Structure 1
Amino acid sequence: MKRTKIKDALNATAPMDEILIKGWVRSKRDNKGFSFVALNDGSCLATIQAIVDHTPEIEEALSRIGTGASVGIVGELVESPGKGQKWEIRGKKLEVIGEADQETFPLQKKRHSDEFLRSIAHLRPRTNKYGAMFRMRSALAQAVHKYFSEKDFFYIHTPIITGSDCEGAGEMFRVTSLEAGSQLPPEEDFFGQPSQLTVSGQLSAEMFSLSLGDVYTFGPTFRAENSNTPRHVAEFWMIEPEIVFSDLSDDMDLGEDMIKYLVAHMLDNCAEDVELFAKWVDKGLMPTLQTILDKPFERVPYTEAIEILKKTKKKFEYPVEWGMDLQTEHERFLCEEKFKKPVYVYDYPKTIKPFYMRMNDDNTTVAAMDCLVPRIGELIGGSQREERMDVLVARMDEMGLNKDDYWWYLDSRKYGTAPHAGFGMGFERMLMLVTGVSNIRDVMPFPRTPKSLDF
Structure 2
Amino acid sequence: MQRTRIDVLLSEQSVGQTVVVKGWVKSFRNNQFISINDGSCFDNIQAVLNRENYDIDFLKTITPGTALKVVGTIVASQGSGQAIEIDVTEIEIYGTANAETYPLQPKKHSKEFLREIAHLRFRTNTFGAVFRIRHAVSFAIHSFFNDRKFYYLHTPIITASDAEGAGEMFRVSTLDLAQPPKTESGDIDFKADFFERETHLTVSGQLEAELGALALGQVYTFGPTFRAENSNTSRHLAEFWMVEPEVAFADLHDNMDLAEAMLKHIISYVLEHCQRDLQFLNDEQIKEESQKPKNQRSELSLIERLQSCIADDFVRISYTEAIEILKNSKPNKKKKFNYIIEEWGADLQSEHERYLVEKHFKKPVILFDYPKDIKAFYMKVNEDNKTVRAMDILFPGIGEIIGGSQREENLDVLLARMEEMDVPAEELYWYLDIRKYGSCPHSGYGLGFERMVQFVTGMGNIRDVIPFPRTPGNAAF
Q: Which residue matches 1:269?
A: 273
Could you tell me which amino acid in structure 2 is paired with residue 232 of structure 1? H
Question: 2:391 matched to 1:369?
Answer: yes
Asked whether the equivalents of residues 61 and 94 of structure 1 are also in contact (C-alpha less than 8 Å), the reply is no
Distance in 2, matches of 1:201 and 1:70, equals 41
Shift of residue 112, structure 1, vs aligned partner: 0.8
CA distance in 2, matches of 1:17, 1:423: 51
Offset of residue 56 of structure 1 = 5.0
The Cα shift of 1:13 comes to 4.1
What amino acid is the match of 2:339?
Answer: Y
Alpha-carbon distance in structure 2 between the residues aligned to 1:215 and 1:273: 32
The residue type paired with residue 3 of structure 1 is R
Aligned counterpart, 1:135: 132
Residue of structure 2 equivalent to 1:340 = 362
Q: How much does 1:2 deviate? A: 1.1
Q: CA deviation at 1:58?
A: 5.9
| Matched AA of 1:27 | S
Match of residue 114 from structure 1: 111
| Equivalent in 331, 334, 338 of residue 317 of structure 1 | 338
Structure 2 CA distance for aligned equivalents of residues 170 and 319 of structure 1: 27
The Cα shift of 1:188 comes to: 1.2
Q: 1:216 pairs with 220, 230, 234, which one?
A: 220
In structure 1, the residue matched to 2:291 is: none
Confirm or deny: 8 A CA contact 2:285 2:301 kept in the other structure.
no
- For 1:427, the equivalent position in structure 2 comes to 449
1:196 aligns with 2:193: no
Q: Structure 2 matches for 1:153-172, cutoff 5 A? A: 153-172=150-169
Count, aligned residues = 452
Residues 409-428 of structure 1: CA deviation (Å, up to 9, x unaligned): 01100010010000000001
Deviation at 1:14, TM superposition (A): 2.2
- The Cα shift of 1:303 comes to 1.2
Q: Percent identity?
A: 54
Q: Which runs of 5+ in 2 are unaligned?
A: 183-188, 287-299
What's the counterpart of residue 82 of structure 1? 79
Please give the alpha-carbon distance, in whole angstroms, between the structure 2 residues aligned to 1:331 and 1:285: 19
Relative to structure 1, the CA distance from residue 21 to residue 118 in structure 2 (aligned partners, 3 Å threshold; closer, same or farther) is same
Choose which of 418, 423, 427 in structure 2 pairs with 1:405.
427
* CA displacement, residues 66-102 of structure 1 (integer Å, 9 cap, x when unaligned): 1111111000011112222111000011101001011
> Deviation at 1:287?
1.9
CA deviation after TM superposition for structure 1 residue 316, in Å: 0.5
| Structure 1 residue 53, shift from structure 2 partner | 1.1
Q: What is the distance in 2 between the residues matched to 1:294 and 1:386?
A: 34
Q: Which amino acid aligns with 1:105?
A: Y
> Which stretch of the first structure deviates more once superposed, 106-115 or 162-171?
106-115
- Is residue 302 of structure 2 the alignment partner of residue 291 of structure 1? no
Contact 1:4 1:20 in 2 (8 A): yes
Residues 243-282 of structure 1 aligned to structure 2 (within 5 Å): 243-281=247-285
- Return closer, same or farther for 1:370/1:54 CA change in 2, 3 Å cut-off: same
Deviation at 1:59, TM superposition (A): 4.5
Report the CA distance shift for 1:60/1:20 in structure 2 as closer, same or farther (over 3 A). Answer: farther
Equivalent position amino acid for 2:99 in 1: Q
Q: Secondary structure at 1:441's aligned position in 2?
A: helix
Residue 173, structure 1, aligned to residue 190, structure 2: no
SS at match of 1:11: helix
Residue-by-residue CA offset, 1:160-194 (whole Å, 9 max, x unaligned): 00000000010110100101131431111111111
| Residue 401 (structure 1) shift | 1.6
Deviation (angstroms), 1:275: 0.8
Structure 2 distance, partners of 1:140, 1:228, is 25
On the 8 A contact 2:13/2:84 being kept in 1, the answer is no
1:19 matched to 2:19: yes
In the other structure, the counterpart of 1:439 is 461
Distance 2:87 2:53 in 1: 17
Q: CA deviation at 1:55?
A: 4.9
Q: Is the 8 A contact 1:61 1:95 kept in 2?
A: no
TM-score, with length taken from structure 1 = 0.97
Deviation digits for residues 133-158 of structure 1 (CA, Å, limit 9, x no counterpart): 11111111111100100111000000
Distance (whole Å) between structure 2 residues aligned to residue 183 and residue 339 of structure 1: 58
Q: 2: CA distance between counterparts of 1:252 and 1:161?
A: 30
Q: Pick from 327, 345, 351 the counterpart of residue 373 of structure 2.
A: 351
Compute the RMSD of aligned alpha carbons. Answer: 1.2
Distance 1:223 1:394 in 2: 27
User: C-alpha separation between the residues in 2 aligned to 1:16 and 1:175?
Assistant: 60
**In structure 2, the residue corresponding to 1:281 is in which secondary structure?**
helix
Shift of 1:16: 3.9
Secondary structure in structure 2 of the residue aligned to 1:207: helix
Question: 1:295 Cα shift?
Answer: 0.9
Give, as a single letter, the amino acid of the residue that structure 2 aligns with 1:376.
I
8 Å CA contact retained: 2:379, 2:407: yes
SS at match of 1:254: helix
Residue identity matched to 1:317: N
